[in-house]
Amino acid sequence: MNCANSRPFTVLVEGNIGSGKTTFLEHFRQFEDITLLTEPVEEWRNLKGWNLLDLMYSDPAKWAMTFQAYVSLTMLEMHRRPTSTPVKLMERSIFSAKYCFVEQMKRLGTLHPAQFAVLDEWFKFINTEIPVEADLIVYLKTTPSIVYDRIKKRARSEEQCVPLSYIEELHKLHEDWLINRTHADCPAPVLVLDADLDLSQITEEYKKSEHQILRKAV
Ligand code: DGT
């Protein structure tokens, strides 16, 4: 077997909190030959009994660094996880952790510049020394007020204190990264989908990505 062909076609699913990334992945469960890797939120909520997500939201100045260090590790593990299928769909990535969340925490001052510098060095090392492959990014683009309402409705306990301004800033950071391309490295071409649509209409929108993703699965 040609080694060059053994790497799966890797799709990163990105978008604001509450944009429907998990629902998008679930849409592809009906197809064969695709590995779905959902975000390890449950690991973040229970590391040896500690809820790091809750600690981070409850006292960001104290816990942001710890949380981001663990996010980086769990994301890297997902990027590197061997798959036997020709297509791999992954919820989020080490890139959105860096360009959206870590950047947001730096701007808000919840990460000290020295802590940011350490995470930045880790990111640069990973990016140059450890292969993190991506072939397509699906960007589930949303309006901040719409995802804010969804977040309130789904009522994940840790997220109840998240203000609309946090979601708006996170939206801008996704746009800067994926649309305005303000960072030198965007690891793959970006397919933009309208993820404001409600559940009754979203399947049609998701189908727009099937061609690009499924043709790799045969
Ligand atoms: P979905 O299916 O689009 O509704 O996806 P969510 O909202 O379940 O998943 P996501 O990744 O947007 O957010 C999960 C929670 O974890 C949310 O409270 C934000 C937080 N989160 C995710 N990644 C990071 C990260 O790298 N840093 C920080 N600070 N928070 C993160």
**pLDDT digits 0-9 by tens, 11-34:** 999 999 999 999 999 999 999 999
Nearest CA to ligand 1 atom 4: 18
pLDDT tens digits, one per residue of 108-167: 999 999 999 999 999 999 989 998 989 999 999 999 999 999 999 988 899 999 999 999
Query: CA-to-CA distance for 135 and 8, rounded, in angstroms?
Result: 9
Find out whether the beta carbon of 52 lies less than 6 Å from any atom of ligand 1: no
Q: How far apart are the first and last CA of the chain?
A: 16
Q: ipTM for the complex?
A: 0.90
Ligand 1 center from residue 1 Cα (angstroms): 38
Residue 217: band (very low, low, confident or very high) from pLDDT cuts 50, 70, 90: low
Residue 24: what pLDDT? 96
**In this structure, are residues 56 and 63 in contact, taking their beta carbons and an 8 Å threshold?**
yes
Per the listing, tokens 């590197």 go with 80
% helix, strand, coil for the chain, step of 5: 55, 15, 30
Residues catalogued as catalytic = 91
Length of the chain: 218
Is the pLDDT reported for residue 59 higher than 90? yes
**In this structure, are residues 188 and 12 in contact, taking their beta carbons and an 8 Å threshold?**
yes
Query: CA-to-CA distance for 79 and 116, rounded, in angstroms?
Result: 22
pTM greater than 0.90 (yes/no):
yes
